Amino acid sequence: MNTFITFYQNLGLALSLLVFATFLVAGTIKGVIGLGLPTISMGLLGLAMAPVQAAALLIIPATLTNVWQLAFGGHLRALIRRLWPLLLAIFIGTGLGILWVGMAGGPWAVRALGGALLLYALSGLALPALRVGADVEPWLGPLCGLLTGIITSATGVFVIPAVPYLQALGLSKDALVQALGLSFTVSTLALAAGLLWRGALGGGELSASLLALAPALLGMWLGQWLRQRISAVLFRRVFFIGLGALGAHLLISG
């Protein structure tokens, strides 16, 4: 508790309010489209603090909101049976990336990721939906997972290529959001293990991240409430607009 209080006393009132507002907005967006909390949080908090410090604040809210996301929807067992090769490859890829690349991919890597995400979102809005056939799933899933893990280790953002792959499986909106929760939970835990290994995730950082949990959960609840009140067609449009906004943010901010 002392480390918790000390951390936010050092931050000051203005930055503490920024942490609260950031996770409230990020949690709401995540509740609607199933992603965005790490990207938005890292982007906004990175304006006022070191990336490693922002990543440490992210661990508890990201982990618990991802667990909440994957727990609701009624498709968990079927998704685990179908997606376990992807999930295992994400964990392995993140570990290999941390060992080989580290967590300092640089602005060029973040901008490249943002550009890819923006292009994918624009194609999703303008072109027919892509579909992954059952015959390619056994090898394409692990490949996408491995690449996602390596990109996560370099940028701290775990959406490419896992999100396009999951979206191309043709899942219902609730199953897709639950599948994203599974993928992001594995990515967050692997990233937390990397921060711990680098000595950037101690008791003080974990205690401090508790402040971010309440607004993130509140935002998540608001977002899920909104998602249940929009149609599948509107959800798909919002999903791609959200992806495009995240990509543009990464491309501009780097």
Cα–Cα distance, 13 to 10 (Å, whole number): 9
- CB–CB of 52/196 below 8 Å? no
What are the structure tokens assigned to 32, written together?
Answer: 């609607």
- CB–CB of 237/125 below 8 Å? yes
DSSP character at residue 130: P
pLDDT in tens, 42-69: 777 766 776 667 777 888 888 888 888 8
- CB–CB of 142/86 below 8 Å? yes
pTM over 0.85: no
pLDDT in tens, 106-124: 666 677 767 877 877 887 7
Q: What is the pLDDT along the chain (254 residues), one digit of tens a residue?
A: 445 555 555 556 667 788 888 899 888 888 888 877 877 787 777 667 766 677 778 888 888 888 888 887 788 999 999 999 999 999 999 888 877 765 555 666 677 767 877 877 887 787 677 788 889 999 999 999 999 998 887 776 777 888 889 989 988 888 998 999 899 889 888 877 877 776 656 556 666 677 788 899 999 999 888 888 888 678 778 878 887 887 787 788 76
